[in-house]
C-alpha cells in the first residue's frame, strides 16, 4: 500500500452526531445561510434529498451592521425542532464566547466562521464545550495560521476539529472569493484532521457551485458544505449563492453512492 493511501487510512474521523466525517464517504452539509422562520420545513425537505448534516445559522457575522444579523435565540429554537423532526445533526455558528453554552445546548457541531478564525478566546471556549468544531479558514489566513487556530481548540483536549476551506481573498473580482483547492492536498500532508470544502462562499454565485463541488471531491475533500434554500431569491442572507433544493438534489445523489475506493486513492 502506498504512503498516500496509508496516510488517508490513518486520518482521524470526527463525528457530528452519528455521522462520521473523514472516514471514507464524503458528507454533505447543507441548508440555508441563516435560519429563517420556515427552517423546519426546509430541513425536512433536505433530509428527503439525502443531506447528511443540516446547516443554518441563528447568529450571523455580517460585514454591515444594518444587514440581517440572524434570528438569534428564536432561531436556535427552530434548530432544535428541525433536529428533532429530521433526526439529522446540525452545525450552526457561534460568534461570541458568551454564546457558546446557548449554542452548544442545541447544536451537534459549532461553526466558527472566517471572521472569527483568530478569535482565540472563542476557539478555547468552543473547544471546552467538547462538541466538534467546524473551523472555517479566515479569508486571508495561511495554512499555518489556520492550523495554529485549530491547535487552540485541540489544546483544550478536544480533537474534534474539521477544517473548512471557503475561499480566500485575491485580486479577482468576478468571484466572491477564490476557492483554494490546494488546501485539501496540502493539509493532508500537514494534519490528520478532516478537510471539507464550502464552494458557496468561495464562488458567491449559485451557477458556480456544482462544478466546484465536483472539483472539491476530485481533490479528495471529506465533505461539502453547500448553501441551499427553497426559494433562493427570497433568501434573507447570501441569496446569490444559494442553490434551490432542486439544484442541490443531484449533488446529494453523487455523494450517496460515492465510491470509497476513489476517495481513499485520491489523497
Contact status, residue 37 vs residue 74, Cβ threshold 8 Å: no
Among residues 191 and 235, whose Cβ is nearest to ligand PEP? 235
Among 54, 201, 232, 245, the residue binding ligand PEP under the rule CB under 6 A is 201
Residues 132-171: x where in contact with ligand PEP by CB under 6 A, - otherwise, as a string: ----x-----------------------------x-----
**CA pair distance 25, 132, nearest whole angstrom:** 19
Report if residue 49 touches ligand PEP, rule: CB under 6 A: no
**Contact between 113 and ligand PEP (CB under 6 A)?**
yes
- Kindly tell me the burial class for residue 247, based on how many C-beta atoms sit within 10 Å of its own C-beta (0-12, 13-18, 19 or more): middle
Nearer to ligand PEP, 25 or 166 (CB): 166
DSSP codes of every residue in the chain: --HHHHHHHT---EEETTEEESSSSPEEEEE-SB--TTHHHHHHHHHHHT-SEEE-BSS---SSTTS----THHHHHHHHHHHHHH---EEEE--SGGGHHHHHTT-SEEEE-GGGTT-HHHHHHHHHT-S-EEEEPPTT--HHHHHHHHHHHHTTT---EEEEE--B--S--SSSSB--TTHHHHHHHH-SS-EEE-HHHHH-SGGGHHHHHHHHHHTT-SEEEEEB-SSGGG-SS-GGGPBPHHHHHHHHHHHHT--HHHHHHT-
36 binds Mn ion (CB under 5 A): no
Least CB distance to ligand PEP at residue 151 (A): 19
**Using CB under 6 A, which of the segments 97-105, 111-119, 183-191, 256-264 binds ligand PEP?**
111-119
Determine if 267 is a binding residue for ligand PEP (CB under 6 A). Answer: no
The distance of closest approach from Cβ of residue 117 to ligand PEP in the complex, given in angstroms and rounded to an integer, is 8
Closer residue to Mn ion (CB): 33 or 49 = 33
Q: With CB under 6 A as the contact rule, which of the stretches 113-121, 143-151, 203-211, 259-267 interacts with ligand PEP?
A: 113-121
Q: Between 212 and 263, whose beta carbon lies closer to ligand PEP?
A: 212
Q: Which of 238, 242, 252, 267 binds Mn ion (CB under 5 A)?
A: 238
19 binds Mn ion (CB under 5 A): no
17 binds ligand PEP (CB under 6 A): no
Report the partner that residue 114 touches, choosing among ligand PEP, Mn ion, none (CB closer than 5 to 8 A by kind): ligand PEP
Question: In sequence order, what are the beta bridge partners of 186?
Answer: none
For the CB of residue 225, give the shortest distance to ligand PEP in the complex, in Å: 7
Contacting residues toward ligand PEP, per CB under 6 A? 33, 57, 61, 113-115, 136, 166, 201
Amino acid at each position: 500500500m502506498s504512503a498516500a493511501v496509508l496516510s488517508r487510512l490513518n486520518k482521524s474521523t470526527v463525528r457530528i452526531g452519528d455521522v462520521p466525517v473523514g472516514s471514507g464517504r464524503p458528507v454533505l452539509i447543507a441548508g440555508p445561510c441563516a435560519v429563517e422562520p420556515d427552517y423546519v420545513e426546509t430541513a425536512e425537505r433536505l433530509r428527503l434529498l439525502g443531506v447528511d448534516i443540516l446547516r443554518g445559522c441563528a447568529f450571523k457575522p455580517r460585514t454591515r451592521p444594518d444587514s440581517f444579523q440572524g434570528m438569534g435565540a428564536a432561531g436556535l429554537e427552530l434548530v432544535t425542532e428541525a433536529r428533532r423532526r429530521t433526526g439529522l445533526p446540525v452545525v450552526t455558528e457561534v460568534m461570541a464566547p458568551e454564546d457558546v453554552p446557548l449554542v452548544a445546548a442545541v447544536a451537534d457541531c459549532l461553526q466558527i466562521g472566517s471572521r472569527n478564525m483568530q478569535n482565540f478566546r472563542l476557539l478555547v471556549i468552543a473547544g471546552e464545550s467538547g462538541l466538534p468544531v467546524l473551523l472555517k479558514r479566515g479569508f486571508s489566513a495561511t495554512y499555518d495560521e489556520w492550523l495554529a487556530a485549530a491547535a487552540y481548540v485541540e489544546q483544550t483536549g478536544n480533537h474534534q476539529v474539521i477544517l473548512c476551506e471557503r475561499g480566500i481573498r485575491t485580486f479577482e473580482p468576478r468571484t466572491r472569493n477564490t476557492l483554494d483547492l490546494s488546501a485539501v492536498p496540502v493539509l493532508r500532508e500537514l494534519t490528520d484532521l478532516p478537510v471539507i470544502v464550502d464552494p458557496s462562499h468561495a464562488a458567491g454565485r449559485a451557477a458556480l457551485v456544482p462544478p466546484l463541488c465536483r472539483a472539491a471531491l476530485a481533490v479528495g475533500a471529506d465533505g461539502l458544505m453547500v448553501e441551499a434554500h427553497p426559494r433562493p431569491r427570497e433568501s434573507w442572507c447570501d441569496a446569490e449563492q444559494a442553490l434551490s433544493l432542486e439544484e442541490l438534489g443531484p449533488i446529494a445523489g453523487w455523494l450517496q453512492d460515492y465510491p470509497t475506493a476513489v476517495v481513499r486513492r485520491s489523497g
